[in-house]
Structure 1
Amino acid sequence: MVETRKFVYILILLISIFLFIIICDSTYIPITRTCITDKDCPSWKNYTGRCRKGFCILNRDR
Structure 2
Amino acid sequence: MEAKLKIVPCTDANRILLKNYRLKKGQEQWTAMPLAAMEQCDTDKDRYPFLLLWDLQLAGFFRSE
The TM-score bracket by the shorter chain reads under 0.3
Q: Which has the higher contact order (CA 8 A, sep 6+)?
A: 2
TM score, norm. by length of structure 2: 0.22
TM score, norm. by length of structure 1: 0.23
- Structure that is richer in helix per residue: 1
Larger gyration radius, structure 1 or structure 2: 1
